[in-house]
Amino acid sequence: PPPSPPPSPPSQRRTLQQVNPITARLRDILRNYSSAQLLNEMLQNADDAGSSEFKVLLSARTFGTASLLSPALADMQGAALYQFDDAQFRPDDYESIQRVGDGTKLGDPTKTGQFGLGFNSVYHVTDTPMFVSGRDFVVFDPHEAHLPDGLPGLCE
* Amino acid of residue 140: F
Phi, psi of 26 (to 5 degrees): -65, -40
> Is 15 a domain residue?
no
The answer to whether position 65 is within a domain reads yes
Per-residue pLDDT of the chain (156 residues; tens, 9 = 90+): 677 776 656 667 776 766 778 888 888 888 887 888 899 989 998 998 999 999 999 999 999 999 999 999 999 999 999 999 999 999 988 888 888 766 555 555 555 554 557 788 899 999 999 999 999 999 999 999 999 998 999 998
Could you tell me if residue 13 is inside a domain?
Answer: no
User: Is-contact 68 54, C-beta < 8 A?
Assistant: no
Is residue 133 a part of any domain in this protein?
yes
Residue 55 lies in a domain: yes
- 54 found inside a domain: yes
User: Domain for residue 8, yes or no?
Assistant: no
* Dist CA 64 CA 77 (whole Å): 7
CA distance 110 to 130: 26
Residue 56's domain comprises 22-155
Cβ 77 vs Cβ 64: under 8 Å: yes
pTM here is 0.78
Q: In total, how many domains does the chain have? A: 1
- Asked if residue 126 belongs to a domain, the reply is yes
